[in-house]
Structure 1
Amino acid sequence: MHIGEGDFDGFLSKMDYIVKTIKDDKVQEFRWFQEKASYIKDKMLFDYAILGIDRSFIIIAALIDFIFETISGEEKKSRYYFPIIVRKNSFDDSCLAIYDGGDCVYGVYDAVDDVEYIRCLDDILRSGRKIEFKSGSRLKPYMILNHDIYSSKRLNNKSSNSLTLLSKNEIVKTFRRMANGMNPDLEMTYMLRKYGFHDVQDIRGYFLYDDGKGTIYTLSMFSQYIENVEDMWQYTQKYLKELLKKYDGSDFVSFVYKNCGDYIGEVKKIAELIANMHIKLSLINEGNFGVLEPDESNIDEIINQIISNFNLLLDYMKNQDYSGDVESLIKEIMDDKNLLMESIENIKSLSPYFGKYLRCHGDLHLEQLLKKEDGYILIDFEGEPTKPISERSRHMSPLKDVAGMIRSFDYAAYSQFFAHKENGEDGIDLEKVENLLSAWATVITNVFVESYVNLIDEHDADLIPDEKYITAILALFKLDKAVFEAIYEVNNRPSWFKIPLKGIIECIDELKNISSLEVYNG
């Protein structure tokens, strides 16, 4: 691709205008676009670089600022890495924008799954060639391993980033929402491999956007593609669908123990994997790793975060219409609001008993576990992608990861309930379906927590709170997760809003439970 830029001069001179014409509805269809419930007021080109050019197409690395208005009327800005490929006189349903340049009509497309873009990145990575952006900033490639590629295709579009499968067992992961710093997914995966934890992907190389003034953004990385059966979310949905077919009308909990021995075995192995990951992370004393003793400021931080997010959730819920069962859940939460605030404030007295803080996964759930024939692989260590990297790279309690898995079991149960309800399948009535799936989530959660705690206690019991305090402290981390989920669902997936609301209520019940409250006075 050595053709001169003159072939696309007319297009490049109108880049600012063309970015504004990118179709909002097309952008909001992308899984990685995180402001689906917000109104896009404007789009502005922040910076761009030409990665490759030919007579029929040009590949551009664009950084685009999206200005949007939230449900509450607040105006916000998010910057996205938006690689595009522009083709002459080529249009189909995936076209994001069309520009008529007079002599030629250009079609603008998302480039991440286009083999020309992937070849271009691979060439830049292997050559070590730095690419200059219009602003003077640079795209810098860093190669760790040396391989070759030939073709590409899109993986399922469930990620908050973009995943493109290469022919030689590799994935290009594109970090869409730009955040200042080294992405934790890259950093954590690399360090775990380096220190002998091999249940993660290997990394071939990565790309940084460097403004030359101390600000860097991680744009993408080439990592190992793991041959897997499916992720544990997919596996669990299929499993639960079959479980419902077997239900014989017996006691829910007894039925789960009798019929879910194989899944319980899987959960014990997963608990062991996560415990071993935390133990390994606690032993790394390089860079921003190692173990810290949490103090009152750390506890204040999570409590203040819960309170702030809870109040934000209340704002989002105003003037909205909900179904009867959701309205009932909201009323129950509002009735217990003062008790909830008092209970989480009381947990401050437990700050000496929180265990240790270390680098953790940060956004652990069933989709982050790939099931192989002989085990599992942990993926996506970037933490919660809506938060800044400085926050995602902090040390935290390993109970945050435990809470993430617990919430994911709950989500899996209700996802199957909604699927059963929507498909109108015959058999047991919906109330029994919901109760059975809730019983399954409770049993699986108990097995997971017990297995995890026992394994940690065998190696380094000080990493987590002891038995006397763990229920109350774990409830705090589950509440933090459930409130965060509720904000996401009310903005992006209202039909699932019920799931985190029920999670919040369960946490309130645990925090106000007599056995938990005794901890505060003990």
Structure 2
Amino acid sequence: MNVIAPEVLEDYLVRTRWFAGKSRPFRVSQVRRIADLDGSDRGVRVAVFLVTVDYSDGEGGNETYQVPLSLYDEPQEAIAHAFIGAADEEGRITHVYDAVHDRYAMALWTSGLVAAEESGVVERGGLRFHRVPGTEPLDPRLRASPLSGEQSNSSIRFDDIAIMKVFRKVTPGANPDIEIHRELTREHSEHVAALYGWVETDVDGETVQLAMVQEFLRTASDGFELAIGSVRSLLSDPSQSVEESGADFAGEAARLGAAVAEVHAALRARFPSETRDAAAARSLARALEERLDHALGVVPELAPFAERLRATYGAVAVLGSLAVQRVHGDLHLGQTLRTAHGWRIVDFEGEPGRPFADRSLPDSPWRDVAGMLRSFDYVPGTVALAQTGEEASEPDPEDDLRAERAREWARRARGHFLDAYVAALCRTESVGADAAAPGEEERILADNRTLLDAYVADKAVYEAVYEKRNRPAWIAIPLAALADVV
């Protein structure tokens, strides 16, 4: 039995950060109750819903979101900020809250994961709780608190021990974030947070994965924010070169490049990989051109670059082969954390908006490399746009110098990342040999330059579409990059 009206949920969805359809006309077309957890000792009942929304704009379509709700007989002042509405549940008034903000509700998830430690899996209230063997035991007394700043999902921290990601937009099938973290945890990869477990259910005979729980990285700093701080520090005194300043990011970029190469090696060890023939290269080139054709209809500003972009993609079509494997799929600085023990890669869900089955397909690791190279370019652009939004001031004669320093910062970061990635790639491919063959790094980069250039250009086209739709003032960043790369 449902407990809350669709119109109440519609009002709630537009107030969340994770609902992707806020700017589109929509209606809640289905509310489906899929699980109930008993927290009667705390006076709470928890119901997990799948909420389907239909869009009525030209693009149309629908999406399904996971919405866990806390149900109380009395108002709860401690979580008043998470109040969704009141409902009539079998003749009694029920006060409904977002369960992610309710530590008593979240304790029910912890309890399920603790119960699964011995057998590996337990079922409770319609949910299956899985544990990864050999990982950290959890204390049922861990205190839950939601993290702020989340966008597409919701994350809950359990003291300094674990963090749970609640997937908001869900589809049937294996979530790549769980699948990859499980394998890399078994591989003992030092570049990911260990996966402790996950939560799933069955809907119409298909598995839907709802949440994952990982090691909490106590000393972690967001990679993008760290890079932003580096550029801000550099531009506060542009009189020195980047290399001479204390704000050079090249060393961190190199360490990150090595980490990404080692993650790619671990993915090759745990998942199938193959080298495909020339037909695969031609298929990739067609896909890149199709993305460009679609983008030109959204971003007319891409037209001056179209001919050179097609030439860049055409070079891919004549490649003789294409090596593919499991990859991150949406790699950028925002998907990295810098800890006291080195870089960690997070969020292996892949490119948002694509079906799980597509995100799990083998792809070229150079797509991930291209994503990170583009991310380094975004950092100074983000700083510059933030500064233009600040209180207007008189033109500064050092503005041109700052712009040059910002470009220098990005060039150095990209170069050191790429060099370190290729060097680490040589090490992982020459395991068992005394050393990589002389000139091997140059050969690898030369052999893959056509593919890398195409992926960098494709990523900039993707960014242009995103910015046109979401942040029009930011479109200058990918357009400037296209002027340089094609």
The answer to whether the superposition gives a TM-score over 0.5 is yes
Q: For structure 1, which segment, 356-365 or 496-505, has the greater mean C-alpha deviation from structure 2 after superposition?
A: 496-505
User: What's 2:385 paired with?
Assistant: 418
The question of whether the paired residues in 2 share the 8 Å contact of 1:357 and 1:463 is answered with no
Q: CA deviation at 1:64?
A: 0.8
- AA paired with 2:343? Y
Q: CA deviation at 1:159?
A: 4.6
The question of whether the paired residues in 1 share the 8 Å contact of 2:74 and 2:94 is answered with yes
* Gap change, CA 1:212 and 1:100, over 3 Å in 2: closer
Find 1:309's aligned residue among 266, 273, 291: 291
Query: Alignment partner of 1:42: what SS?
Result: strand
User: What's 1:506 paired with?
Assistant: 484
Within 2, Cα distance between the matches of 1:338 and 1:49? 53
Find 1:453's aligned residue among 422, 443, 460: 422
Query: Alignment partner of 1:141: what SS?
Result: strand
Find 2:207's aligned residue among 204, 207, 216: 216
Within 2, Cα distance between the matches of 1:200 and 1:97? 39
Within 1, Cα distance between the matches of 2:203 and 2:220? 41
Q: Indicate yes or no: 2:53 matched with 1:84.
A: no
| Cα distance per residue 1:202-228 (max 9 Å; x no partner) | 222111222363x21211011110112
Within 1, Cα distance between the matches of 2:49 and 2:131? 22
Within 1, Cα distance between the matches of 2:410 and 2:14? 32
Find 2:143's aligned residue among 135, 142, 151: 151
Q: For structure 1, which segment, 42-51 or 157-166, has the greater mean C-alpha deviation from structure 2 after superposition?
A: 42-51
* Gap change, CA 1:399 and 1:265, over 3 Å in 2: same
Within 2, Cα distance between the matches of 1:14 and 1:366? 41
Q: CA deviation at 1:438?
A: 2.5
Q: Indicate yes or no: 2:226 matched with 1:235.
A: yes
Q: CA deviation at 1:43?
A: 4.1
| Cα distance per residue 1:1-59 (max 9 Å; x no partner) | xxxxxxxxxxx4554xx1332244x4244332233432223342144322235485431
User: What's 2:452 paired with?
Assistant: 474
* Gap change, CA 1:455 and 1:58, over 3 Å in 2: same
User: What's 1:37 paired with?
Assistant: 23
Identical amino acids, percent of aligned pairs: 24
| Cα distance per residue 1:168-211 (max 9 Å; x no partner) | 51001111111222211112122122123222112221112223
* Gap change, CA 1:403 and 1:263, over 3 Å in 2: same
* Gap change, CA 1:182 and 1:498, over 3 Å in 2: same
Within 2, Cα distance between the matches of 1:348 and 1:227? 46
* Gap change, CA 1:59 and 1:506, over 3 Å in 2: farther
| Cα distance per residue 1:246-287 (max 9 Å; x no partner) | 112x7xxxx123226752111111111111222222233xxx
Q: CA deviation at 1:495?
A: 3.5
Find 1:112's aligned residue among 90, 100, 122: 100
Q: Indicate yes or no: 2:108 matched with 1:130.
A: no
* Gap change, CA 1:205 and 1:463, over 3 Å in 2: farther
Within 1, Cα distance between the matches of 2:246 and 2:452? 25
* Gap change, CA 1:505 and 1:100, over 3 Å in 2: farther
Within 2, Cα distance between the matches of 1:63 and 1:408? 34
Unaligned stretches of 5+ residues in structure 1: 1-11, 133-137, 318-329, 510-522
Superposed, 1:482-493 pairs within 5 Å as: 482-493=460-471
- AA paired with 1:259? S
* Gap change, CA 1:156 and 1:407, over 3 Å in 2: farther
* Gap change, CA 1:161 and 1:304, over 3 Å in 2: farther
Within 1, Cα distance between the matches of 2:191 and 2:402? 35
The question of whether the paired residues in 2 share the 8 Å contact of 1:302 and 1:480 is answered with no
The question of whether the paired residues in 2 share the 8 Å contact of 1:148 and 1:168 is answered with no
Within 2, Cα distance between the matches of 1:166 and 1:338? 52
Within 2, Cα distance between the matches of 1:53 and 1:108? 14
The question of whether the paired residues in 1 share the 8 Å contact of 2:325 and 2:362 is answered with yes
Q: CA deviation at 1:379?
A: 1.5
- AA paired with 2:85? A
- AA paired with 1:27? L
- TM-score w.r.t. the length of structure 2 is 0.86
Count residues with an aligned counterpart.
462
Q: For structure 1, which segment, 239-248 or 378-387, has the greater mean C-alpha deviation from structure 2 after superposition?
A: 378-387
The question of whether the paired residues in 1 share the 8 Å contact of 2:157 and 2:216 is answered with yes
User: What's 1:167 paired with?
Assistant: 159
- AA paired with 1:278? H
Q: CA deviation at 1:383?
A: 1.4
User: What's 1:59 paired with?
Assistant: 46
- TM-score w.r.t. the length of structure 1 is 0.80
Q: CA deviation at 1:463?
A: 11
The question of whether the paired residues in 1 share the 8 Å contact of 2:3 and 2:88 is answered with no
Q: Indicate yes or no: 2:166 matched with 1:180.
A: no
User: What's 2:273 paired with?
Assistant: 291
- AA paired with 2:174? M
Q: CA deviation at 1:124?
A: 2.6
The question of whether the paired residues in 1 share the 8 Å contact of 2:336 and 2:343 is answered with yes
* Gap change, CA 1:206 and 1:474, over 3 Å in 2: same
Q: CA deviation at 1:382?
A: 1.6
- AA paired with 1:419? A
Within 2, Cα distance between the matches of 1:465 and 1:394? 27
- AA paired with 2:153? N
Query: Alignment partner of 2:249: what SS?
Result: helix
Query: Alignment partner of 2:7: what SS?
Result: helix
Query: Alignment partner of 1:441: what SS?
Result: helix
Within 2, Cα distance between the matches of 1:161 and 1:468? 39
The question of whether the paired residues in 2 share the 8 Å contact of 1:360 and 1:401 is answered with yes
- AA paired with 1:307? E
Within 2, Cα distance between the matches of 1:102 and 1:186? 38
- Root mean square deviation of aligned Cα: 2.9
Q: CA deviation at 1:429?
A: 5.5
Q: CA deviation at 1:63?
A: 0.6
* Gap change, CA 1:271 and 1:13, over 3 Å in 2: closer
* Gap change, CA 1:14 and 1:448, over 3 Å in 2: closer
Query: Alignment partner of 2:100: what SS?
Result: coil
Unaligned stretches of 5+ residues in structure 2: 116-120, 431-439
